[in-house]
Structure 1
Amino acid sequence: MMEATEGLRTVVGLMSGTSMDGIDAALLRTDGRDRVEALGFLTIPYDDAFRARLRGCLGRTDGGEPVAGVERELTEAHADAVRRLLERAGVPPAAVALIGFHGHTIHHDPDRRLTRQIGDGARLAASTGIAVVNDLRSADVAAGGQGAPLVPLFHRALAHGLPRPLAILNIGGVANVTWIGPEPAGGGEAGGGQAGGGEAEVVACDTGPGNALIDDWVLRHGLGRFDAGGALAAAGLVDDAALATLMAHPYFDRPAPKSLDRDAFDPAPVAGLSPQDGAATLTAFTAGSVARVLPHLPAAPVRWLVCGGGRHNATLMAMLADRLGVPVEPADRVGWDGDALEAQAFGYLAVRSRLGLPLSLPGTTGVPAPMPGGVFHPAA
């Protein structure tokens, strides 16, 4: 195991998100604590045929084909992403200490202590010649945590010096928020991995739907894979009755921390709407669900920074600003790459895993105590 005194490591982080767009691959240097240096990033889209096969695995808890076949394809696609990322950056594989490999979530039901991410860590290590840490959620879920979101400790590492309370909102297929409270005296990491010795400094949860319902709606109507720029929603009107039905879901009254599966919400209330009005209503549902998290945060954020694909949706960003009443800005505004953050986070978490540091806290997933995790696969 790496020792905490060994300092910065060059690592790769890999993410295949619930939007099923493709693979995000990030190269960074980090100590797994409070130092992060971004070195490179790329996205490799999935082709339509593979995306359809991956979609067919969602919700599956059994083994065997076709899931095993998709897992092999997924793993080799990630190995190719690593090779392409390192080639672009001019970094040899021997210079990379670790790969943090999230895999792809096909089933997430933490209330039954179940979470499943497909992706073969040993196969990826053998294919790339680089040690891999994967299976980053299971320990948290097995201990009674929600297993998500896992990015908050990375967000905290990035947020030094920014005004607080700060909210960092990631809008992928599902949306999640990290609330970061005032910087503790002395800064840094203490208390066995808790921020400033007290877990209340970081609170997190899935807020509700992100892009998934909107993407599925657009796809169902043969209008592409997503609502580019929010143009379809901008051309429609929100159906207040349908929105009220969607917002009546009991999830929004549950306190943080909490998490969701991609398909937790039934879009039936918008089924009879036009493509434009349906997109507008589902976009308002995402924005409204973010606003519903405010009573569950320790204090109202003074600023929201948005990362993930949803920040490119101008209609959604305008709805968020209207409902939250404080600045809502792309994370890029503070010098972060809003497309790369989640992949970077899994490289960061891989280092924490090897150091034996927590990946999650009671305030981020509801786990009973700060929880390490991950499974290590040495380089072949």
Structure 2
Amino acid sequence: MDTSYHVIGLMSGTSLDGLDIAYFRLTYTNENWIYKILHTNTLTYSDILIESLRDAETYNALELIRLHHSYGKYIGQQVQRFVQQHEIRPDFVASHGHTIFHQPEKHVSFQLGDGAYIAANACLPVVCDFRTLDIALGGQGAPLVPIGDALLFPEYDYCINLGGIANVSFSQNDKRLAFDICACNMLLNTLANSVGNAYDNNGEMARSGSLQPDLLQQLNAPVYFTAPAPKSLGKEWVLEHSLEAIAAHKSSIPDKLHTTCHHIAFQIKQALPKLHERQHRVLLTGGGAFNLYLVELLQEYLGEQYSVEVPEPEVVSFKEALIFAFLGLLRWRGEHNCLRSVTGASQDNIGGSIYLC
């Protein structure tokens, strides 16, 4: 028999472009999972909230806990409005939260947005805190999306998300593998912000710039890029190894954007192993998939053996919210949602805390 669930997925990315709220139907039929996107919205953060999220890593313990609670309350209130607006009855909410710290080598990964406060204000059950158990088991706590990629998008050889950080997942030798590749929108949006734009529309500024070989060499230099998986990146690493190099370089913003796009495309090419002789299908999602120049450049770097495919805009924008809705569903069902082959943990695990209201 078919089994269906209705779930709200929430995602806030490192690029600080807002809170993604999406309502999905997830159905298990004929031993396969099928998804349907029903309603979506992206809530743009206020300048005050952006500043708080950006500066949270410098807060003392008391300030951070207060923000953890107040941001959870904000999320819960937005979910309640979303539910009332669309007159829906979700089974539960799955929230990734907003990452403030991710240093798994120090056993630290913290996602802002207290699940108890979300549940209390949304008046719905909440699944959250997906990373902690995996880190406790010796893993990276990231990436988390690969099991969703494998079960919801099985027709693609590679699933690449161009979010604040670019990551990839794929199957090789009957194992699902995944890792963070490099910073993406964290770099591109920071550069666009410096000239008063939220982002580089269609990559037009980047297209108008010229390549800066010395900057490209600096961006490609960190040993992380040649280190084996499992591996993941946090905001702290990006600041030290990428943003500082970009800020220090004496060139125009278009030139920096142009060079950064080459860096991203090159690192993605380096990250993709050749799986077979036929053409490889590449699913491209996340905000960076709207950057036409970056997409064209990536196809150029990968060559004809790879087909870079950008799906319909709702999937591009809300795939991460979908994946976390699905991870929450697996947690709800008591099934594995985090793979040791991806994170390096001692075992596959069922990550996530549940708050009932």
Structure 2 length normalisation: TM-score? 0.90
- Which residue of the partner structure matches residue 193 of structure 1? none
Range 81-90 or range 106-115, more displaced: 81-90
How many angstroms apart in 2 are the aligned matches of 1:361 and 1:140? 9
Change (3 A) 1:50 1:365: same
Identical-pair percentage:
30
Q: CA deviation at 1:223?
A: 2.8
- Which residue of the partner structure matches residue 162 of structure 2? 171
What letter is aligned with 1:25?
I
Q: Matched residue of 2:242: which SS?
A: coil
Q: Matched residue of 1:367: which SS?
A: coil
How many angstroms apart in 2 are the aligned matches of 1:310 and 1:246? 18
Q: Matched residue of 1:103: which SS?
A: strand
Give the number of equivalent residue pairs.
346
Range 366-375 or range 71-80, more displaced: 71-80
RMSD over aligned Cα atoms: 2.2
How many angstroms apart in 1 are the aligned matches of 2:227 and 2:119? 40
Map residues 334-373 of structure 1 onto 2, 5 A cutoff: 337-373=315-351
- Is the counterpart of residue 107 in structure 1 residue 106 in structure 2? no
Native 8 Å contact 1:40 1:85 kept in 2? no
Change (3 A) 1:159 1:180: farther
Q: Matched residue of 2:61: which SS?
A: coil
Native 8 Å contact 1:257 1:365 kept in 2? yes
Q: Deviations over 1:330-378 (max 9, x none)?
A: 1329xx6211110111111111112221121122222222111111111
- Which residue of the partner structure matches residue 259 of structure 1? 232
Structure 1 length normalisation: TM-score? 0.85
What letter is aligned with 1:55?
R
How many angstroms apart in 2 are the aligned matches of 1:123 and 1:299? 48
Structure with the largest fraction of helix: 2
* Structure 2 gaps, min length 5: none
Native 8 Å contact 1:23 1:81 kept in 2? no
Q: Matched residue of 1:34: which SS?
A: strand
Q: CA deviation at 1:302?
A: 0.2
Native 8 Å contact 2:94 2:325 kept in 1? yes
- Which residue of the partner structure matches residue 186 of structure 1? none
- Which residue of the partner structure matches residue 208 of structure 2? 235
Q: CA deviation at 1:134?
A: 0.8
Change (3 A) 1:57 1:205: same
Native 8 Å contact 2:146 2:176 kept in 1? yes
Q: Matched residue of 1:267: which SS?
A: helix
How many angstroms apart in 2 are the aligned matches of 1:113 and 1:8? 36
- Which residue of the partner structure matches residue 188 of structure 2? 214
Change (3 A) 1:6 1:367: farther
Equivalent residue in structure 2 for 1:330, among 310, 314, 332: 310
Q: Matched residue of 2:235: which SS?
A: coil
What letter is aligned with 1:82?
V
Q: Matched residue of 2:234: which SS?
A: coil
Q: Matched residue of 1:360: which SS?
A: coil
Q: Deviations over 1:243-301 (max 9, x none)?
A: 01210110111122311002413333332111111111112222222112124x75587
* Structure 1 gaps, min length 5: 182-197
- Which residue of the partner structure matches residue 265 of structure 2? 287
Map residues 32-47 of structure 1 onto 2, 5 A cutoff: 34-47=33-46
Native 8 Å contact 1:173 1:262 kept in 2? no
What letter is aligned with 1:331?
P
Q: Deviations over 1:203-259 (max 9, x none)?
A: 11111111101111222x333222121111111011112101210110111122311
Q: Deviations over 1:144-199 (max 9, x none)?
A: 11111111111122224x2x5x1111111111111145xxxxxxxxxxxxxxxx8x
- Which residue of the partner structure matches residue 73 of structure 1? 70
What letter is aligned with 1:255?
P
Equivalent residue in structure 2 for 1:18, among 8, 14, 21: 14
- Is the counterpart of residue 319 in structure 1 residue 297 in structure 2? yes
